[in-house]
Amino acid sequence: MTLRTMTAEHGFMGIDSSNYTTSVCVVGETGRILFERRKLLDVAPGEVGLMQSRALFQHIVNLPLFLYEFHAERPDLKIQSVAVSSRPRDKVGSYMPVFLPGVVAAQGVATGAGVPLVKTTHQSGHIAAGLATSDVRIEGSRPFLALHLSGGTTDLITCVAAGADYHVSAVATSRDLHVGQLVDRTGVMLGLPFPSGQSLEAMAKTCEDAALPVIPSSVLDGAPSFAGPLSAATRLHDAGETAERIAASILRVIATTIEKMLEHAWDQTHVDPVLLVGGVARNQIIRERLRHRLGPRYDRLAFCDPVYASDNAFGVALIALDSWRLSAK
């Protein structure tokens, strides 16, 4: 038997262990995805999230399996750099235990391969994935705005490239609930599974009545409140309003709130464009509502590809790649 020699291809790994999803991604030198695994964490019916300890345990189960599958499927890839989201945001005090399994796994891969470990943030991963896949080209070397809409974040931030990562500064953030929490808690109240984004959107699409019940939007100096809309939706539900109309009204008030946040940011910063990332940013009803409300200003928005709007390690892998490129100069 003749043994066939195999030329190793360079790979750059990203790992993200959020409170929703376990993610591993490997890209090549061009940024093309060579391996990817993502798994939503299991949440019991009727619950609206996971305790950190339960999410952490699921990551501990998922990550070794993903890494085994990577080595089994892509033995030709030689890892040159590893990046991991070690905390939610680039902010003092930003910490969640749920990111620790990802850090441990990434450190093990980096040590075994004898390559650098790059620590980044979950938010930076979203930004990198958004820049790589958005429908509008954004030059990362110039300041831009990003609106991160998810279950754990409602941040409007200014961003500028800082090496392989990004320097961010806050423009506005939620005063209470995050927008994804509003979506998920409304969805579970209406009998939908968690996370509820896609199911709530599908339910809202069945509502043909334009005269929807009004749920007020609250934004103060660009900072939204979503506790009020959730209370309003709960009152509508208790009064016997249909689930479809509640779903449509919630997505409408979210779009209105985003519009107000954007207007405040444009007035305060005079920065364009705005990159929208996070699971809620993939909602097409919200997107069409913004198109209708903003008119020509809608062209100032750049939406991440829906596949990579929700939690993923693609952006983290791109940060590993960019870090390697910079170190090679």
User: What is the domain range of residue 41?
Assistant: 9-134+309-328
Residue 156 lies in a domain: no
Domains in the chain, number = 2
Q: How far apart are CA 305 and CA 131, in angstroms?
A: 10
Residue 168 lies in a domain: no
Do 313 and 206 belong together in one domain?
no
Largest CA distance in the chain: 76
Do 193 and 260 belong together in one domain?
yes
Do 317 and 298 belong together in one domain?
no
Write down the pTM of the prediction. Answer: 0.95
Name residue, tokens 């927008």.
Answer: 179
Residue 157 lies in a domain: no
Q: Residue-wise pLDDT tens for the chain (329 aa)? A: 333 344 679 999 999 999 999 999 999 999 999 999 999 999 999 999 999 999 999 999 999 999 999 999 999 999 999 999 999 999 888 999 999 999 999 999 999 999 999 999 999 999 999 999 998 888 767 999 999 999 999 999 999 999 999 999 999 999 999 999 999 999 999 999 999 999 999 999 999 777 899 999 999 999 999 999 999 999 999 999 999 999 999 999 999 999 999 999 999 999 989 999 999 999 999 999 999 999 999 999 999 999 999 999 999 999 999 999 999 87
Helix axes 179-189, 197-205, angle to 10 degrees: 70
Residue 141 lies in a domain: no
Do 16 and 109 belong together in one domain?
yes
Do 248 and 283 belong together in one domain?
yes
Residue 150 lies in a domain: no
Do 93 and 49 belong together in one domain?
yes
Q: How far is CA 322 from the centre of its chain?
A: 20
On whether the CB atoms of residues 176 and 226 are closer than 8 A, the answer is yes
Residue 51 lies in a domain: yes
Tokens matching residue 128 = 């990198």
CA nearest neighbour of 313 among 30, 63, 42, 48: 63
Q: How far apart are CA 67 and CA 14, in angstroms?
A: 11
Residue 149 lies in a domain: no
Phi, psi of 197 (to 5 degrees): -55, -55
Which value, in Å, is the radius of gyration of the alpha carbons in the chain? 21
Residue 147 lies in a domain: no
Q: Which residues contact 45 (CB under 8 A, 6 or more apart)?
A: 193
Name residue, tokens 């790994």.
Answer: 13
